[in-house]
Amino acid sequence: MKKITVVFLLTLGVLISTSCKETENNIEIELVTAEEMKSILELEDVQLIDVRTPEEYDEIHIVNAQNIDFMSPTFDNDISKLDKSKPVILYCRSGGRSAKCAEKMLEAGFEKIYDLEGGISKWQHSDKLNIKRKS
């Protein structure tokens, strides 16, 4: 019985570590820190997407971000208008919605997806403060 349990746990560990966020084409969702995101924004031509509600976006958002509400019934149609070959950086409030959105975008065929670790909450508390607040 112990052998079966050990084999099961090892197999489960291997499956989780190798297939977590990777597709057949080795396209992955890359979780990035605020510091890494700042560099990506400076070096790459990316689509910066805020997946929070319009009300949250209006309150505060990262400069040059486009708002596409993950909870909107038009979400799938809205992301289909983006360039799948151009890198995308996603963020929400704390990372939950953007992670779900990243999975959907991976399934939709986007080639390079970055997800801001900790969302705008982490970005705000870093020294990157390139945000726009409601007036």
The residues assigned a catalytic role are 92
Q: Burial of 3 by CB count in 10 Å (0-12 exposed, 13-18 middle, 19+ buried)?
A: exposed
Euclidean distance between CA atoms 66 and 84, whole angstroms? 15
Go through 21-59 and write b for each residue having 16 or more CB atoms within 10 A of its CB, e for each that does not.
eeeeeeeebbbbebeebbebbeeeebbbbbbbbeebbee
Residues 64, 48 contacting (CB under 8 angstroms)? yes
What lies within 8 Å, CB to CB, of 97 at 6+ separation is: 51, 52, 70, 71
